[in-house]
Homo-oligomer: A and B are copies of this chain.
Amino acid sequence: MESKLLIAFPYFFQKSFLLNFAAMKALIFTEINKALELQDIPVPEEGNGLVRVDIKAAALNHRDLFITQGLYANIKTPCILGSDGAGEYEGEKVVCYPALDWGDETAFQGPQFRVLGMPENGTFAESILLPKANVLPMPAHLTFQQAAALPLAGLTAWRALISRCQVQKGEKVLISGVGGGVALMALQLAMAKGAEVYVTSGSEEKIAKAINLGAINGENYRDEGWDKRLKAASGGFDVIIDSAGGDGFSRFASLCNPGARIGFYGGTLGKVNNLSLQPLFWKQVSLLGSTMGSPKEFRDMLAFVEIHKIVPVVDSVFSLEDGNLAMERMQGGGQFGKIVLEINA
């Protein structure tokens, strides 16, 4: 990886341009609504409390796509995207906590909190600089690609399902929009907890795949009456995990058992309308907003994944050079599981 180059560089990292230095390949976000650029850039140097992880696999998140579409605040270019990475550090196989500066509170992230991959450089590169505390041993039963599929999705699912909704053995869980990385991790974590899991999707194929993974049943939310059929099949839910919001969210009220918890970590289908509070307060329902998770939650999640030998679902694997094809796969929405980039495989 660290071949010596003597060529001139593009505009990126001009300030650190040297006649003789170690270089690495990275996928650079240079402009909104433009393809990512594969560039050779200087290998970042350790120091100031930061260590260098040699990335062997990275994974995409919707966040990466939204950033390239300009849908995030404070867009900064140029920048290496990517929040998820697994690789090597000092000869050990490691996986990276996908954020910085959670802060002091358990209940929420502090004002300095940020996810890897803008503003700081992310994992779509041959190496990344991170605080040493972000670098943790990889669960031994996973490959680099499987481990790269774990961090952000596993952490988000863990906090929503375990920390916030506190799912218990034997409880009935509904996971909406199965197929996305977080939803699938929530499915796998809930099953490992001993819950009975039902799913929704807009795709019959994804429902079938979720049932193959262990879900009891599923309904296509495009079909009229999906909620009533789910209620009849399950008898009601103790935990619901959702990232869609929108009009479907209000239907959850009637699906809730007394004491139910609805964990939500997204709102891709827009604002919630027509939400009746009466069934929610009468049944003592908790609606729990959740995003990401703390370093402690990340360590707890890794330990749980290792104990229960959970293998994250990988949808597809692309080379770093084919990073834009990977982004297109995500934009198409057909994936079931994580889209992974293999790097120096």
Residues of A within 8 A of B (CB): 105, 107-109, 164, 245, 249, 258-259, 264-267, 271-278, 280-291
- The reply to whether A245 and B277 form a contact with Cβ atoms under 8 Å apart is yes
Closest chain B residue, CB of each to CB of A257: B108
User: Across the interface, do A267 and B273 meet the contact criterion of CB distance under 8 Å?
Assistant: no
Q: Chain B: which residue is nearest A244 at the CB level?
A: B277
| Other A-B pairs, 8, CB within 8 Å; known A265-B281, A281-B290, A283-B289 | A108-B283, A245-B277, A266-B277, A267-B278, A271-B273, A272-B277, A273-B274, A287-B288
Residues of B within 8 A of A271 (CB): 273-277
State in angstroms the CA–CA spacing of A283 and B265 once bound together. Answer: 11
Q: Is B281 within 8 A of A277, CB to CB?
A: no
In the assembled complex, the Cα of A284 lies from the Cα of B290 at a distance in Å of 5
Contact A284 B108, beta carbon cutoff 8 Å: yes
Contact partner of A266 (CB less than 8 A), chosen from B245, B281, B291, is B281
Set of chain B residues within 8 Å of A273, measured between Cβ atoms = 271-275
Tell me which residues across on chain B come within 8 A of A291, comparing CB atoms.
Answer: 281-282, 284
**Taking the nearest CB of chain B, how far is it from the CB of A283, in angstroms?**
7
Instruction: Return chain B residues, CB-CB under 8 Å to A164.
Output: 286
Contact flag A286-B284 (CB < 8 Å), given A267-B278, A273-B275: no
Quick check: B258 and A281 within 8 Å, CB to CB? Answer: no
Which residues of chain B come closer than 8 Å to A283, judged between CB atoms?
108, 289
**Across the interface, which residues of B come within 8 angstroms of A282, CB to CB?**
289, 291
